Chains A and B, each alone.
Chain A
Amino acid sequence: MSTFFSPSPASGQKSFHFSKAQSFCLVLVCTLFAAAAQVLIKLGANALQSANPLAMLTNVPLVAGYSLYGIVTLLLVLALRDGELSILFPVISLTYVWVAILSVTYFKETLNVYRVLGVLIIVAGVAVLSKDGKQ
């Protein structure tokens, strides 16, 4: 791990920083894990019989999915701290693409022209929003 995390020269505290490339890779990995978390959440939701919050808390895929989501969020904060936000934020919208691909492969959902177009336009919209917001 010590080769991956480069120590911060400025402070004497135990803190590490990512290079731009490392930040980019980390964000990309985060989008994949976020999509996997969505699949777990959907898997858990499919098994729910009623709208009981207690049944949600004891649903293993659901809890696993949200835990994964929590970890992804923390990793994203780390990656976003060191990288260029205007590049990294739009990358996050790739999650929509991975979720669509996983939905088709894992849940046998169907894609048609409208669905593919819809996802791509939303990815573009989210990317435009996040890029504009961070200028």
Chain B
Amino acid sequence: MKTPVSSMLLVLLGSFIGSFGAVFLKRGAGKLHFAWKSLFLNWSLVAGVAMYLFSSFFFVLGLRKGELTILYPLVSVGYIWTLFWSRLFFGEPLRRGKFVGIGLILLGIVCLNLGNR
């Protein structure tokens, strides 16, 4: 069985949307108070969870056809987006080690695609 490109694109779209979920959760976590009510009134947290749910919709659509061996590791591309959003929205530094990580993830995905037959 070969994993179709459409499935891969759906999973990648899911991981792209999910990376914004992390941004909203981080934003929400920054102004968190330890009371149950504040968890639900914190719109950033609610938006973060909503983003994750929305992203899993596309992830599940992608998983309908194709192999988990190929599709699940694609989720790791989300980490790369998260790095860029961390730089953009929170001013976190992009150190050299992070580019090594990004390079390895991309290389791994190229490898998986070579094995997709």
A109 touches B57 (CB 8 A): no
Q: With both chains docked as a complex, state the minimum distance between the C-beta of B103 and any C-beta of chain A, in angstroms.
A: 7
Cα A58 to Cα B67 in complex, Å, equals: 23
> Which residue of chain B has the shortest Cβ distance to A133 in the bound complex?
B98
A126 touches B68 (CB 8 A): no
A129 touches B101 (CB 8 A): yes
Given A53-B57, A114-B111, also A132-B97 (CB < 8 A): yes
B105 touches A122 (CB 8 A): yes
B112 at interface by CB-CB < 8 Å: yes
* Binary contact track B64-76/A, C-beta < 8 Å → 1, others 0: 1001111011001
Stretch at the interface among A3-11, A16-24, A25-33, A100-108: A100-108
A51 at interface by CB-CB < 8 Å: yes
- A interface majority secondary structure: helix
> Which residue of chain A has the shortest Cβ distance to B7 in the bound complex?
A45
B97 touches A128 (CB 8 A): yes
B64 touches A121 (CB 8 A): no
Given A56-B57, A125-B101, also A39-B68 (CB < 8 A): yes
Cα A103 to Cα B97 in complex, Å, equals: 31
In the A-B complex, the 6 residue pairs with the smallest Cβ-Cβ separation, listed nearest first, are A114-B115, A125-B104, A129-B101, A118-B112, A118-B111, A132-B97
Question: Hey, which bits of chain A sit against chain B, CB under 8 A?
Answer: 38-39, 41-42, 44-46, 48, 51, 53, 56, 62, 66, 96, 99-100, 102-104, 107, 109-129, 131-133
Question: Hey, which bits of chain B sit against chain A, CB under 8 A?
Answer: 1, 56-57, 59-61, 63-64, 67-70, 72-73, 76, 79, 83, 95, 97-98, 100-116
A–B complex contacts, Cβ < 8 Å, 8 sampled: A117-B108, A118-B115, A122-B104, A122-B108, A125-B105, A127-B101, A129-B98, A132-B100
